[in-house]
Amino acid sequence: MSAIRGHWGIENSLHWTLDVCFNEDQCRKRIKNAAANMTVIRKIAVNMLKTETSFKGSINRKFLRACLNQDYLAKVLGI
């Protein structure tokens, strides 16, 4: 039972992050595989922001900083 709860805790936290940071619930992409492709790209972005450790902040703050600062974006992307 605890394994099931742990799985849903991870699922819910990922979906919450995608909805809050990337406003995924408002996505209106409906042509062919566009919605699925964007979901994969968003999940990759969340993972890259989580693994970047030079800036201590929430995923939302890291996302905002990457949008505003090209040097930090390059660091997140590993360039």
Q: What is the tens place of the pLDDT at every residue in 52-72?
A: 989 898 888 998 899 999 999
Is pLDDT above 90 for 1? no
d(CA 33, CA 74): 28
Claim: this prediction has a pTM higher than 0.85 = no
**Which sign does the torsion angle of CA 54, 57, 59, 64 carry?**
negative
45: Cβ–Cβ under 8 A, 6 or more apart, which residues? 22, 63
